[in-house]
């Protein structure tokens, strides 16, 4: 499949990737992705996303340990067959992904002069999600995979990465060349959760 063939292909083939080849991602490729994602929409044009590229192996190991603790705790919340299935899922790809990015939201930056955030301050975080989604598709165009890891304690990640206190964690992203491509989400293939019909999420008033 040529992932750039059409927008429909892009949307249908974008996956959350956790199985990477360990080949490096050229710095100029990453730079290009981040530059495109930086054009994402943001409330008041605030661009509140802050990107920490985690290169230090010691910090990477600490984040992975944080994931393991959070994942073990999450596993304890399931019982029986569901617990067995949860234990079999691969929910991150720290070991091989060449690029690790922690995406943060600066909650009280000057840019945008608070337009659109007085009644809904969470719009800053939503803007950062739009950054991640653009990055996800930009990666897919290049044949790169992105995995979004949320099974982490933000307090631990903040401390490991020594970020300012007014930054909140949006997600930890792993980027690299995928081992394989699929049109069906990994969680669906594993029998955890299928997609449900779009009609169930549409309402008219
Ligand atoms: C906000 C967000 C957080 C996610 N966190 C995780 C995670 O911690 N671990 C994981 O394996 N997948 C995570 N995912 C990926 C979802 O499981 C995945 O998007 C979903 O199963 C649909 O699969 P697809 O992205 O391949 O279409 C996350 C996705 C989103 C949007």
Task: Report pLDDT digits (tens) over 25-36.
Answer: 999 999 999 999
Task: Tell me if 203 is assigned to some domain.
Answer: no
Distance 120 CA to ligand 1 centre (A): 25
User: In whole angstroms, what is the distance from residue 100 CA to residue 78 CA?
Assistant: 29
Percent of the chain with pLDDT over 70: 98
The two structure tokens encoding residue 14: 């974008």
Residue identified by tokens 């949860």 is 86
Residue 123 has pLDDT above 70, yes or no: yes
Q: What DSSP designation does 5 have?
A: S
What domain range is 19 assigned to? 13-181
β-pair type (145-149, 167-176): antiparallel
Task: Tell me if 163 is assigned to some domain.
Answer: yes
β strands within 1-76, DSSP E: 49-53
Give the mean model confidence (pLDDT) for residues 83-107. Answer: 97
Which ligand 1 atom is nearest residue 187's CA? Answer: 21
pLDDT recorded at residue 4: 45
Report the length, in residues, of the chain: 205
The two structure tokens encoding residue 133: 């989604």
| Contact in structure between 3 and 15 (CB atoms under 8 Å) | no
Over the stretch 134-177, which tens digit does the pLDDT of each residue have?
A: 999 999 999 999 999 999 999 999 999 999 999 999 999 999 99
Question: Which of the four pLDDT bands, split at 50, 70 and 90, describes residue 12?
Answer: very high
Residue 153 sits in a domain whose CATH number is: 3.40.109.10
83 HSE (CA, 13 A, CB side): 9
**Other beta carbons within 10 Å of 35:** 10
pLDDT recorded at residue 5: 61
pLDDT recorded at residue 122: 98
Tell the residue nearest (CA) to atom 21 of ligand 1: 187
Helix (H, G, I), strand (E, B) or coil at 192: coil
Task: Tell me if 122 is assigned to some domain.
Answer: yes
Which ligand 1 atom is nearest residue 188's CA? Answer: 21
| Average pLDDT for the chain | 96
Question: Which of the four pLDDT bands, split at 50, 70 and 90, describes residue 2?
Answer: low
**Can you list the alpha helix ranges (DSSP code H) found in 6-56?**
7-13, 27-37
Task: Tell me if 84 is assigned to some domain.
Answer: yes
Q: Which of 3, 14, 16 to mutate to test ligand 1, by most ligand atoms within 8 A of the CB atom?
A: 16
The two structure tokens encoding residue 114: 């608070």
How many distinct structural domains can be found in the chain?
1
Distance 90 CA to ligand 1 centre (A): 11
Q: Is the pTM of this model over 0.75?
A: yes
């Amino acid at each position: 499949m040529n992932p750039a063939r059409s927008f429909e292909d892009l949307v249908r083939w974008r996956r959350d990737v956790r199985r990477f080849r360990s080949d490096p991602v050229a710095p100029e490729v990453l730079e290009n992705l981040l530059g495109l994602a930086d054009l994402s929409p943001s409330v008041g044009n605030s661009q509140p996303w802050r990107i920490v590229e985690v290169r230090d192996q010691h910090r990477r190991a600490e984040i992975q340990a944080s994931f393991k603790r959070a994942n073990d705790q999450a596993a304890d919340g399931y019982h029986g067959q569901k617990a067995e299935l949860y234990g079999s899922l691969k929910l991150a790809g720290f070991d091989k992904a060449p690029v690790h990015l922690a995406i943060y939201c600066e909650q009280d930056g000057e840019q945008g002069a608070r337009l659109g955030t007085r009644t809904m301050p969470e719009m800053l975080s939503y803007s950062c999600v739009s950054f991640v989604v653009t990055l996800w598709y930009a990666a897919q165009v290049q044949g790169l995979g992105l995995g979004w890891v949320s099974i982490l304690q933000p307090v631990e990640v903040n401390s490991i990465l020594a970020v300012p206190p007014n930054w909140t964690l949006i997600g930890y992203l792993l980027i690299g060349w995928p081992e394989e491509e699929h049109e069906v989400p990994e969680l669906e293939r594993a029998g955890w959760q299928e997609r449900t019909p779009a009609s169930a999420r549409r309402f008219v008033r």
